[in-house]
Structure formats: C-alpha cells, structure tokens
Structure 1
C-alpha cells in the first residue's frame, strides 16, 4: 500500500509506506529504541541472553540495560543473585583452571567439583578469553587452614574472541570465591619463601583436555 504526500505525514517516510492505524513510525530499529544501544555484531549474542533471561525483565530497555551491565561489568554471579558465605575447612578440595606454570599462584575463583574439560570450563564456568585465552591446566588444591569463601552458581558472560566475534557463555556451574585476606600466602611458592602457613596446597596439576574422552 503506497503512501501519500499529505494524509500520512505522521510517519517518517510518507512517500514509501503508510501506517493507517498510526501504530508505528519506522521499520526495523527506530531511532532511540532500546535495541539501538546494542552494536550489530552483538545482536545475536543479545538475543541469546534475552532468551536465557525470558520473563525476568519488564521490557526491552530493562533487558538491554541488564545485557550492557553484564557485558561491561562481568559479574561472576547470576543477575540478581546474592552469594552466600561459609568457612572452607581443612582437607576440603577446590579445582581451578590455571595458566601453564601458574599452579602455585591460584586465582580467586574455583570449583568445588571436578572440571572435566576445557569446553566445560569455557561454557559452564563462563571463563572468557580476556581472563584465560587458553584453558590448558587443571589444578586441585586442598585447604590447609580455614578461610571464608562465597559460593553459588556461575553467572553468564559475554565473551569476545581474539577475532572480534562474540559468544554467550551460559554459566550454571558451581563456584567458590576465595576470600583469604593475604593473597600472597594462598599457596607456598618462591615469592613467599615457601611459607609453612599457606591457606592451601597443590595436590594435583594436570593437563586439561579440550573435550572429555
């Protein structure tokens, strides 16, 4: 149905199309619409995020805001989740993916469960390329003395690969955030003169397969 010059000038392009009921003023992304905030190369990932959080937000703008907050802030927990705190006890074990040669320098997040392969680490533990471009080592630590941890489910992440492409990492695994105060004494190593007062010790350090066989 062709538009006219006078009768439908409330639309953006009256010569190209008309909207007899006046319900819409543009085709596709309207200027100022919520979706305009999402770069085109991130639209597919945004739609996956939107499906994963269906029913959680009141409108498109709220969904876009949540997506941008996750993309830019990289919260380790699911949206709206408040992690719980407990005491890690001696002989308790945690598993962590580390870079080669960094087994004695653990990060802050670990899993209370085994990590079967790199795909699980990337997707279920939502480890983005920015943090660890290669997932090649799996280290298991045993607690030596009590310290506090936060625990709960792994939140999703928006991953940007080296080639500039984006992917959605759903998370969903279990994780703990290690809250020891003097991080330098997490594990005995050369930097702390192999302290006898470390919070944890390494019990295994193995190659992490890309896919579980």
Structure 2
C-alpha cells in the first residue's frame, strides 16, 4: 500500500477490515459463494470422527470422479470402490453433489495433510435416501487437494 494521508481511502476501518484478495473497499467487491446444500450432514450421527494430520508414509484413498474431472475433490474413501452403486449408496454421493460418476482414481494423501475421517452419514435427495455407512476421508484444506499424488490411471466403473 502506498503511503498517504487517508488510510480510509483503502480500508473503511483499518483496525477490523481485512483485504486478503487485494481488493479495494468498495461496493460490489463481495466474494460470492454457492449456498451449502440443505440436509447434508456428511458424517454418520454418533459415529467417531477423527481429525488428524495424514499418517507417516501417507494414506491411500480412492476417489469417485465425474467424466472429465481431472483434479481431486475434497472427499474420498479408504474403501475399494467397485461400482457406481457403491458410490451412490455406501458413500452417499447424491446426484446433487456429483451428477455422473465415471471413474475411480487412487491417490496418496501425503504425510501431514490435515484430514478428517469417519463413517459416511445418510443423505436424502429428491425423496431418495442414500444410506451411507462407508468410510470417508475429507481433505480439510482446499489448497491441500493439489498435494494429492495420483497412483496409476483412473479405472472406469459402471
């Protein structure tokens, strides 16, 4: 920030206002986000939920991928994903979250990446209940998704 006499020209209140994106404090610079899906508690009620850094040597996971998806998402499983039915039911991935599933990609979560792991909770979408019950791993920090190491080629599932 260049020096000057009027700090309020940049920040409306320099004691409380933070500008992480380098935007000027003007109307219309709000960051827009999609609303969170309703009724989407991802974890099984009453089941243990563990938050920890990835273990020494890393952790192998599988991730259901949409056709054309090249980057990892934030959710995976330590289970073997045999088919789309497993993704929909045991992993409770509704069409709202992922309209199509075409492949499974194995990844290594490097040691130290912050994760949560637990049991998939049930989801409901358009009157259909997706039971859950599979294992679930969440990569907590968005930037850590880029640290996941793909293992082999994606394998198609039906």
Fold similarity call, TM over 0.5: yes
Matched, 1:201 2:152: no
Structure 1 residue runs of 5 or longer lacking an equivalent are 1-70, 161-165, 188-198
Structure exhibiting the larger radius of gyration computed from Cα positions:
1
Tell me by how many angstroms 1:147 deviates: 1.3
Tell me by how many angstroms 1:136 deviates: 0.7
Tell me by how many angstroms 1:93 deviates: 0.8
Structure 2 residue runs of 5 or longer lacking an equivalent are 1-36
Question: Which SS does the other structure have where 1:101 is aligned?
Answer: coil
Matched, 1:159 2:125: yes
Tell me by how many angstroms 1:185 deviates: 5.1
Tell me if structure 2 keeps the 8 A contact 1:145–1:200: no
Match of 1:86 in 2: 52
Alignment RMSD: 2.0
Match of 1:101 in 2: 68
Aligned pairs for 1:1-213 (under 5 A) are 72-81=38-47, 83-89=49-55, 90-103=57-70, 105-160=71-126, 166-180=127-141, 183-184=142-143, 186-187=145-146, 199-210=147-158
The runs of at least 4 aligned residues of structure 1 exceeding 6 Å deviation read none
Tell me by how many angstroms 1:150 deviates: 0.9
Q: Whose RCO is larger (CA < 8 A, sep 6+)?
A: 2
More strand per residue:
2
Tell me if structure 1 keeps the 8 A contact 2:50–2:116: yes
Distance in structure 2 (CA, Å) of the matches to 1:177 and 1:77: 10
Distance 1:184 1:148, change over 3 A: closer
Mean Cα deviation higher: 166-175 or 200-209:
200-209
Report the TM-score, using the length of structure 1 for normalisation: 0.52
Tell me if structure 1 keeps the 8 A contact 2:104–2:157: no
Question: Which SS does the other structure have where 1:72 is aligned?
Answer: coil
Tell me by how many angstroms 1:167 deviates: 1.1
